[in-house]
Chains A and B, each alone.
Chain A
Amino acid sequence: DIQMTQSPSSLSASVGDRVTITCRASQSISNYLNWYQQRPGKAPKLLIYAASTLQSGVPSRFSGSGSGTDFILTIGSLQPEDFATYFCQQSRFTPTAFGQGTKVEVK
């Protein structure tokens, strides 16, 4: 099975900061990579699919890049509502798999 590894596991940042989160797949998954945001006590929310396509309604400060095994989620200017946990997910192979999550906390 494909293993997805995110780094860092957590980070501290301030409003207005540029934040990057990395996701690495154990083997090439082309661009079959999705990103989700999960606020405390809430269900995950799709942010980006196919590595770089923004889901409808998601602010443009979120962007994704990468292909093959290495992917990046960037938050261009962190907003108060962005303090949350972020997960990557590969959909190239069955079973699908999620990264362990990256928690973005207030500095």
Chain B
Amino acid sequence: GAVVSQHPSRVICKSGTSVKIECRSLDFQATTMFWYRQFPKQSLMLMATSNEGSKATYEQGVEKDKFLINHASLTLSTLTVTSAHPEDSSFYICSARGVGLEKLFFGSGTQLSVL
């Protein structure tokens, strides 16, 4: 099956710093990428949708200036959490969809801890 690689798997940073999370589709072209966030014991909540070469569409309540999404190529999307604060500590996971693929494929997730 299709593989989505997400890095890093875990990151600890100080408050105020920026963190970049990468999501790569290894064996297919990801025309659409979805970024989710999951707080403990909660469901995955969609943050934004990005199509290659276009600006991301953010869900209501998600700050686009804080969560910068870049989808510059068909195999790479990045999420940058700018000026991270402790309340941004969460599990972030990407999902990719390729042309002709029915399923959405998920990365392994990134656990972000902001001190």
Q: Are chains A and B native binding partners rather than an unrelated pairing?
A: no
